[in-house]
Amino acid sequence: EESKEAILYVNGVRKVLPDGLAHLTLLEYLRDFGLTGTKLGCGEGGCGACTVMISHYDRKLKKCVHYAVNACLAPLYSVEGMHVITVEGVGNHKRGLHPIQKSLERYHGSQCGFCTPGFIMSLYALLRSSQTPPTEEQIEESLAGNLCRCTGYRPIVDAFRVFAKTDDALYADISSLSLQGGEFVCPSTGKPCSCGSKTVNDIDTNGQSICSATYKPVSYSEVDGSTYTDKELIFPPELLLR
Ligand code: FES
Ligand code: FES
């Protein structure tokens, strides 16, 4: 029955994993159903073109943890019960580009574009994992597994540096979203949140009300003056109950 189904979520969409796919990597699975933003470069963990973000609920830490992983190396079944976000889930032309994508565009950080989704996902995973803005060094470190044969990296790093901690209150938004509910870290978003004392035990089993507050991710409006709140994919409540 339902609880025995092997499932995963991809960009917020529930997928049932049938038996018999043990030969597939996560990358093959994603590309097979049309999510071709995630690229096959080296196929052996060396280039980062296949980078996606996986999230799962860490019961010890009582929050979701996010990792950038090489989908070319991950056996499909290794992400059972997890949420996979690909570059399509970060932003696109229909839904709107994510500030990371806009910044890359603005700084000409993409030439042939083959490496671009991987770079985006590495930074995205870092930002989703960080409760305070990362430093420039942390941003550079997060890109250590991503190769680009075109840009010389400088435009990419310039594009990504706008997300680093600065002294001039670039991240004023963060303080406004945090701490209204004390230091509580929302189990769904992994960030400080005003959903108060709700814990994973409070989730209603329909999976609807994991968090009484709407997740308001930081809007990096300094990139082009636009905001990006309310579009970020949250951790699927169903996966918190597993
Ligand atoms: Fe190169 Fe996965 S394709 S690391
Ligand atoms: Fe061509 Fe990076 S833009 S590999």
ipTM value: 0.99
Residue 129 lies in a domain: yes
Q: DSSP code of 197?
A: T
Ligand nearest to the CA of 72: 1
Ligand nearest to the CA of 147: 2
For residue range 96-107, what is the model confidence (pLDDT) as tens digits?
888 899 899 999
From residue 16, how far is each of 10, 25, 81, 153, 194 by CA, in Å?
10, 16, 10, 39, 33
Ligand nearest to the CA of 27: 1
79 and 191: one domain?
A: no
Task: Please give the distance, rounded to the nearest whole angstrom, from the Cα atom of residue 79 to the centre of ligand 1.
Answer: 17
Residue 209 lies in a domain: yes
Measured over all CA atoms, what is the biggest interatomic distance in the chain, rounded to whole angstroms? 54
User: pLDDT value at position 231?
Assistant: 58
User: pLDDT value at position 201?
Assistant: 41
For residue range 126-141, what is the model confidence (pLDDT) as tens digits?
998 887 889 999 999 9
Structure tokens that stand for 1 in this block: 């029955």
User: pLDDT value at position 18?
Assistant: 93
Domains: count for the chain: 2
CB count within 10 Å of CB 229 equals: 14
User: pLDDT value at position 59?
Assistant: 86
CA 237 to chain CA mean position, Å: 16
User: pLDDT value at position 3?
Assistant: 57
Structure tokens that stand for 228 in this block: 């990006």
Ligand 1: which of 26, 29, 50 to mutate, most ligand atoms within 8 Å of CB?
50
CB 192 within 8 A of CB 185: yes
Q: Which atom of ligand 2 is nearest to the CA of 111?
A: 3
Residue 231 lies in a domain: no
Beta strands 7-10 and 13-16, pairing class: antiparallel
Residue nearest to atom 1 of ligand 2 (CA): 112
∠ CA 139-140-146, rounded to 5°: 110
> In the structure, which protein residues have their CB atom closer than 6 angstroms to any atom of ligand 2?
110-115, 148-151
Angstrom distance (rounded) from CA 62 to CA 152: 40
CB 50 within 8 A of CB 41: yes
Q: Which atom of ligand 2 is nearest to the CA of 110?
A: 3
Task: Please give the distance, rounded to the nearest whole angstrom, from the Cα atom of residue 120 to the centre of ligand 2.
Answer: 12
User: pLDDT value at position 236?
Assistant: 82
Q: Which atom of ligand 1 is nearest to the CA of 43?
A: 3
Regions of the chain short of the pLDDT cut 70: 1-3, 166-232, 242
User: pLDDT value at position 176?
Assistant: 37
Ligand 1: which of 28, 29, 69, 70 to mutate, most ligand atoms within 8 Å of CB?
70
Angstrom distance (rounded) from CA 80 to CA 84: 10
103 and 213: one domain?
A: no
163 and 176: one domain?
A: no
Query: Using a 6 Å cutoff on CB, does residue 48 contact ligand 1?
Result: yes
Determine the structural domain holding residue 185 and report its residue range. 171-219
User: pLDDT value at position 131?
Assistant: 79
70 and 103: one domain?
A: yes
